[in-house]
Amino acid sequence: MKTISKKYNKPGKHEITIPFDKEGQEKAWLGVVDARAEGEYELEILAWHTAPSTGGRITVRGVVGKGASLTVRGMIKIEKQAQKIDDFLEIRILLLDPSARATAEPKLEIEADDVRASHAASVGKIDETQILYLASRGLSEKQAREEIVKGFLGV
């Protein structure tokens, strides 16, 4: 499955629809939100299954910095005629500063019955033990944080 990657690093609202309208279609979609600059970021994703036997893997990763807020709304919508669907939506958000704010809304709307649809969301901060480990290897705290963010965003 080929992954479609998208990057968002400017404040504002971004709306994305990922259609699954051909039978047997499979798509992997990765959205990376870099909200380290101040501002309000909004990402709205709709994975819309109108054809049967379609599969999706939707992943959103975001980092939120000082004075920034990030809202991610992800919806998996499965229409009645779209049976045999397998979709997974994942939202992972890392808060880098005490003033960072995040809202994650992973939603499902399912009218078919022969489906496997699941989602997961987590919001948290950088694990201090990871920073300690990197610091023990000679990185400064700042470098360690940067490396962890890089690894998290996969860039």
Partner 1 sequence: MLSIAVASSGQHQDAGAKMYHLAPRTTSKITSKSISRDGGRASYRGLVSISPRAKEARSRVVCDALIMDAKSRSDTYPTNRVLNNEVILEHEAYVSKIGVEQLYYLMSRGMSEAEAQTLIVRGFLEPVVGELPMEYAVELNRLVKLEMEGSVG
Interface contacts to partner 1, rule CB under 8 A: 93, 95-125
Q: In whole angstroms, give the CA distance from residue 106 to residue 115.
A: 17
Question: CB of residue 132 vs partner 1: minimum separation in angstroms?
Answer: 16
* Nearer of residues 4 and 141 to partner 1, judged by Cβ: 141
- In this structure, how many other beta carbons lie within 10 angstroms of the beta carbon of residue 127? 11
* Nearer of residues 4 and 66 to partner 1, judged by Cβ: 66
Question: CB of residue 22 vs partner 1: minimum separation in angstroms?
Answer: 22
Q: In whole angstroms, give the CA distance from residue 44 to residue 69.
A: 14
SS3 148: helix
Q: In the numeric block, which tokens belong to residue 114?
A: 């022969």
Question: CB of residue 83 vs partner 1: minimum separation in angstroms?
Answer: 8
* Nearer of residues 123 and 144 to partner 1, judged by Cβ: 123
